[in-house]
Structure 1
Amino acid sequence: MSDESREPFKRLFFALNCAPEQRRAIAQWRNALGLNIGRPVPAENFHLTLLFLGTVGMAQIAGVCEAAANVRMPGVPLTVVLDRLEVWRRSGVLLLAPAQAEPQLLQLVYALEQAMLPFGFEDTRREFRPHLTLMRNYRAPVPESATPPEFFLRADRFTLFESHKGRYRALAEWPLVYA
Structure 2
Amino acid sequence: MNDETREPFKRLFFALDCAPALRRDIAQWRSALQLRNGRPVPADNFHLTLKFLGAVGVAQIADICTAAASIRTPGERLTVVLDRLDVWRRAGALVLAPQQATPALLRLVYDLEQAMLPFGLEQAPREYRPHLTLARDYRASVPESATPPGFFLRADRFTLFESHKGRYRALAEWSLVDHQ
TM-score over 0.5 for the alignment?
yes
Identity in percent: 76
- 1:75 shift after superposition: 3.2
**Higher helix share goes to which structure?**
1
Aligned to 1:161: 161
Aligned to 2:71: 71
Aligned to 1:94: 94
CA spacing shift, 1:25–1:123, aligned 2, 3 Å: farther
Aligned to 1:152: 152
Mind listing any 5+ residue stretches in structure 1 that lack a counterpart? none
User: How many pairs were matched up?
Assistant: 179
Mind listing any 5+ residue stretches in structure 2 that lack a counterpart? none
Contact 1:54 1:123 in 2 (8 A): no
Contact 2:7 2:57 in 1 (8 A): yes
Aligned to 1:14: 14
- 1:43 shift after superposition: 0.1
RMSD: 1.5
Contact 1:52 1:123 in 2 (8 A): no
For 2:69 and 2:124, how far apart are their aligned partners in 1? 18
For 1:4 and 1:79, how far apart are their aligned partners in 2? 45
Aligned to 2:170: 170
Aligned to 2:34: 34
TM-score w.r.t. the length of structure 1 is 0.96
Partner amino acid for 2:51? L
Secondary structure at 1:139's aligned position in 2?
A: coil
For 1:146 and 1:160, how far apart are their aligned partners in 2? 35
Partner amino acid for 1:132? L
Aligned to 1:116: 116
Aligned to 2:25: 25
Q: Runs of at least 4 residues of structure 1 off by over 4 A?
A: 2-5
- 1:74 shift after superposition: 3.1
For 1:106 and 1:36, how far apart are their aligned partners in 2? 34
Secondary structure at 1:158's aligned position in 2?
A: strand
For 2:99 and 2:59, how far apart are their aligned partners in 1? 39
- 1:123 shift after superposition: 5.0
